[in-house]
C-alpha cells in the first residue's frame, strides 16, 4: 500500500495523463469521423456531378433527335392533309408532287416520303414521278395504322430500307372523311444520322450511349456494335423504369459487357429514349486519389493534435453554430419558415445582377391569398396562421430548383424568385402552385390564391423594382379577373433613350396596362 503523500501526488498526475490520452483519442476519433464524412460527401458529389453532366448531355441529344423527328413529322402531316383534297387525283404527277411534297423536309439522312393505299400498294413516291411497284401490307407501320385509328405518329423498330440501309420508319395514318382506313404515308430516318450524332460525343473507355425504342429495342449504340441494333432489352435490369419514366437514373451492370455504370436517360415524351451510361470506375477514380491524400493528411493531423486544440475547435464549432443559427433566424420568416422580406430583397438584387451578367431571364411570382381577411375572420387568427403555414409548405414543395427562392412577401402575400427562368416556365410553376393550393383542405375549408407572373432579361438601365411592379400589376389583373388564377405580364420594354429613371417614372396605370389580360 502506497503512502498517503505519494498517492496524493500521483492522483493529479494520473488525472492529467488520462486527460491527455482522452484528448488525443478524441482527436483521432474526431478527425477520423470528419475525414469519413468529408469523403462520403465527396463521393456523393462526384456521383451527382457525373449524373448532372450526363443528364445535360442526354437532354441535348434528345432535343436534337426530337427536333429532327418533329421536322419530318410536319412533312408527313402536310401529305396527309393534302392527299385528302378531292381534286388531287385528277392532277398530273408533276403538279401532284409539287402540292404534296413542296414543303417536305430534306436532308441526307431523310428517306423519301411514300403513300400507300388501303390495300398496301405504293401510289406516290416523293423521289419519282412514276414509282416502282411496292407493297407494304405486311410491314409493321402498315399493320399498326390499319388497326389503330388514333395512333398518331408511329416510329418503327430499326429495319432495312430498299437500298439495304438500316433506318427507322416514321408514318401516319390516312383516314377518309368517314374515318375509314385510307392508307399510310411513311418516310424514314437512316440510322447513319444517329450514328453520326453519337460519334460526335466524347465518351470514356467504358462509357456507353444508347438510343432505345420505347418498346425496349435498341436503335443505336456507341461504341457502335451492329449486333446491338434491334436487340430486345426488355429482360435487362432496370429497362422497365427506363421505358416508363421520361427522366431518371439508376446504377446497373451493362447489358453487353456487365460493366457497372450510372445510367441516365432522357426523352421528350416521344418513342425514342436517350440512355447515357457512365462507368462507376471513371466516376470514382479521381475521388479515390483525393481520398488517399486526405486520409493521410488527416492521420498526421490527428496524431499531432492536442487536447487544447480539440477543446478550442469544439468551442469554435459551438460559436459557429450559434452564429449560423442567429443568422438563419434573421433571414427566415418565423411563421412559415420561408425567407423573410429582407432576405427576399437581398436575393432579388443578387439574382438581378447575376442574370444581368449572364443575359438570362429572371422570373418573379407574386402570390396573394384570396379573401384571406374573410377566412381569418371566419376561422380566427390561429386558423389563418395554419392556412399560411400550409400554403408556404405547398409553395416550398412546388418550387423545386436549388436556386429558386420562396419568401413571405407580406401578411398573406408570398413571392417566388425563379433565376434563369422564362415566362413560360414561370407560368408552369405558378399553375402548379395554384392547383396545389386549391387542393388544400383545412378542416373542410378550401382556400385559393391569385398569382402574378413576370419575367425579364435584366438590363443595366433597369432596376428590380420594375420587375416587382410588372408582377404586381399582373397579380391585380388576376384578382380583378375573378381570383384563383394566374396572369402574366407582358415584356418590359424601355422607351428609346430612357434609363431606369424613365422606366420608374411611368404611372401605375401604365404598369397595369403593361400586364397581360
CA 304 from centre of chain: 48
Please state whether 48 falls in left (phi above 0), alpha (psi between -120 and 50) or beta.
alpha
Res. 102: pLDDT tops 70: no
Tell me which of 32-41, 138-147, 472-481, 487-496 is least confident: 487-496
Cell numbers 446497373 correspond to what residue? 252
What pLDDT, on a 0 to 100 scale, did the predictor assign at position 223?
86
Per-residue pLDDT at 105 = 58
Please say if the pLDDT value at position 184 is more than 60: yes
Please state, in angstroms and rounded to a whole number, the distance separating the CA atoms of residues 343 and 331. Answer: 5
Q: What value does the mean pLDDT of the chain take?
A: 81
Specify the pTM.
0.49
Q: What pLDDT does 500 receive?
A: 41
**pLDDT on residue 19:** 57
Q: What is the mean pLDDT of residues 74-97?
A: 77
In tens, the pLDDT along 192-245 reads 888 888 888 888 888 888 888 888 888 888 888 888 888 888 878 778 888 788
Cell triple for 138:
405486311
What is the pLDDT at residue 378?
87
Better-predicted residue by pLDDT, 474 or 78: 474
Q: Identify the pLDDT of residue 308.
A: 57
Q: What is the three-class DSSP state of 220?
A: strand
For residues 84 and 323, give the distance between their C-alpha atoms in angstroms, rounded to a whole number.
Answer: 74
Q: What is the pLDDT at residue 293?
A: 81
Say yes or no to pLDDT of 473 above 80: yes
Query: Between these two residues, 392 and 86, which has the higher pLDDT value?
Result: 392
Distances (CA, A) of 503 to 193, 459, 487, 498, 511: 50, 12, 22, 7, 10
Give the range with max mean pLDDT: 23-32, 120-129, 317-326, 420-429. Answer: 420-429
Confidence at 1, pLDDT banded by 50, 70, 90: very low
Residue 487: pLDDT band with limits 50, 70, 90 = very high
Give the residue with greater pLDDT, 95 vs 285: 285
- Sign of dihedral through CA atoms 113, 115, 120, 123? negative
| CA-wise closest residue to 377 among 412, 409, 347 | 412
pLDDT value, residue 504: 36
CATH dotted code for 44-303: 3.30.450.20
Residue 240 · residue 233 · CB < 8 Å: no
Q: Where residue 485 falls among pLDDT bands split at 50, 70, 90? A: very high
pLDDT of residue 365: 97
Count Cβ neighbours within 10 Å for each residue of 8-40 and write b for 16 or more, e otherwise. eeeeeeeeeeeeeeebbebbbeebeeebeeebe
pLDDT of residue 503: 39
Within 30-135, strands assigned E span 114-117, 122-125
CATH class of 341-514: alpha beta
Residue ranges of the alpha helices (H) in 332-463? 341-358, 372-398, 423-438
Residue 385 has a pLDDT of: 92
pLDDT of residue 502: 36
| Low-confidence winner among 19-23, 113-117, 286-290 (lowest mean pLDDT) | 19-23
- Please give the average per-residue pLDDT across 302-324, as a whole number: 65
Rounded to an integer, what distance in angstroms lies between the CA atom of residue 412 and that of residue 403? 24
Q: What pLDDT shows up at residue 70?
A: 86
Element at 451 (helix H, strand E)? strand 449-456
Element of type H or E holding 34: helix 4-82
Confidence at residue 15, expressed as pLDDT on a 0 to 100 scale: 52
Q: DSSP 3-state assignment of 202?
A: coil
In the chain, domain spans: 44-303, 341-514
Whether the CB-CB separation of 69 and 189 falls below 8 Å is answered with: yes
> For residues 210 and 277, is the Cβ–Cβ distance under 8 A?
yes
E-strand stretches of 230-379: 247-253, 260-266, 272-279, 362-369
Given this model, what pLDDT does residue 311 score?
Answer: 58
510 pLDDT above the threshold of 80: no
The beta strand positions in 147-246, using DSSP E, are 154-155, 159-160, 166-175, 181-190, 208-213, 218-222
Residue 516, pLDDT score: 38
Report, as an integer, the average pLDDT of 398-427.
93
Q: Give the burial class of 436: count Cβ atoms within 10 A of its Cβ; 0-12 exposed, 13-18 middle, 19 or more buried.
A: middle
**Grid cell at residue 406:** 420562396
Residue 346 — very low, low, confident or very high, per pLDDT cuts 50/70/90? Answer: very high
Residue 423: is its pLDDT beyond 90? yes
Do 44-303 and 341-514 fold alike per CATH? Answer: no
Amino acid at each position: 500500500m502506497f503512502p498517503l503523500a505519494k498517492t496524493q501526488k500521483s492522483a493529479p498526475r494520473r488525472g492529467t495523463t488520462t486527460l491527455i490520452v482522452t484528448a488525443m483519442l478524441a482527436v483521432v476519433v474526431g478527425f477520423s469521423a470528419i475525414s469519413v464524412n468529408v469523403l462520403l460527401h465527396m463521393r456523393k458529389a462526384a456521383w451527382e456531378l457525373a449524373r448532372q453532366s450526363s443528364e445535360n448531355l442526354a437532354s441535348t441529344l434528345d432535343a436534337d433527335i426530337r427536333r429532327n423527328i418533329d421536322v419530318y413529322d410536319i412533312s408527313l402531316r402536310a401529305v396527309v392533309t393534302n392527299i385528302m383534297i378531292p381534286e388531287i387525283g385528277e392532277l398530273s404527277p408533276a403538279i401532284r408532287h409539287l402540292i404534296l411534297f413542296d414543303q417536305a423536309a430534306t436532308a441526307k439522312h431523310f428517306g423519301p416520303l411514300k403513300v400507300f393505299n388501303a390495300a398496301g400498294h405504293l401510289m406516290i413516291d416523293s423521289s419519282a414521278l412514276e414509282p416502282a411497284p411496292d407493297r407494304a401490307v405486311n410491314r409493321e407501320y402498315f399493320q399498326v395504322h390499319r388497326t389503330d385509328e388514333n395512333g398518331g405518329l408511329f416510329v418503327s423498330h430499326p429495319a432495312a430500307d430498299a437500298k439495304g440501309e438500316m433506318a427507322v420508319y416514321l408514318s401516319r395514318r390516312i383516314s377518309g372523311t368517314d374515318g375509314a382506313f385510307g392508307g399510310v404515308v411513311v418516310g424514314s430516318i437512316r440510322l447513319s444520322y444517329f450514328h453520326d450524332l453519337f460519334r460526335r460525343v466524347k465518351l470514356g473507355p467504358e462509357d456507353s450511349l444508347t438510343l432505345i425504342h420505347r418498346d425496349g429495342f435498341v436503335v443505336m449504340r456507341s461504341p457502335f456494335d451492329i449486333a446491338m441494333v434491334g436487340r430486345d432489352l426488355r429482360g435487362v435490369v432496370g429497362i422497365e423504369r427506363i421505358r416508363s419514366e421520361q427522366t431518371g437514373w439508376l446504377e446497373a451492370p451493362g447489358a453487353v459487357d456487365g460493366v457497372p455504370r450510372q445510367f441516365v436517360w432522357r426523352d421528350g415524351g416521344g418513342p425514342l429514349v436517350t440512355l447515357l451510361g457512365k462507368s462507376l470506375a471513371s466516376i470514382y477514380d479521381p475521388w479515390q486519389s483525393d481520398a488517399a491524400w486526405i486520409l493521410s493528411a488527416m492521420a498526421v493531423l490527428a496524431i499531432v493534435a492536442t487536447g487544447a486544440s480539440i477543446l478550442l475547435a469544439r468551442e469554435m464549432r459551438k460559436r459557429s453554430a450559434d452564429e449560423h443559427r442567429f443568422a438563419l433566424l434573421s433571414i427566415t420568416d418565423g411563421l412559415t419558415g420561408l425567407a423573410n422580406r429582407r432576405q427576399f430583397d437581398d436575393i432579388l438584387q443578387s439574382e438581378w445582377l447575376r442574370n444581368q451578367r449572364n443575359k438570362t431571364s429572371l422570373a418573379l411570382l407574386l402570390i396573394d391569398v384570396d379573401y384571406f381577411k374573410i377566412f381569418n375572420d371566419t376561422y380566427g387568427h390561429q386558423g389563418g396562421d395554419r392556412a399560411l403555414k400550409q400554403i408556404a409548405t405547398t409553395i416550398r414543395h412546388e418550387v423545386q430548383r436549388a436556386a429558386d427562392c420562396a419568401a413571405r412577401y407580406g401578411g398573406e402575400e408570398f413571392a417566388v424568385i425563379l433565376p434563369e427562368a422564362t415566362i413560360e416556365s414561370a407560368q408552369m410553376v405558378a399553375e402548379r402552385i395554384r392547383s396545389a393550393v386549391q387542393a388544400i383542405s383545412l378542416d373542410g375549408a378550401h382556400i385559393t390564391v391569385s398569382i402574378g407572373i413576370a419575367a425579364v432579361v435584366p438590363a443595366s438601365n433597369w432596376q428590380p423594382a420594375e420587375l416587382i411592379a410588372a408582377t404586381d400589376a399582373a397579380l391585380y389583373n388576376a384578382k380583378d379577373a375573378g381570383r384563383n388564377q394566374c396572369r402574366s405580364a407582358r415584356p418590359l420594354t424601355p422607351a428609346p433613350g430612357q434609363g431606369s429613371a424613365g422606366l420608374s417614372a411611368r404611372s401605375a396605370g401604365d404598369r397595369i396596362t403593361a400586364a397581360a389580360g
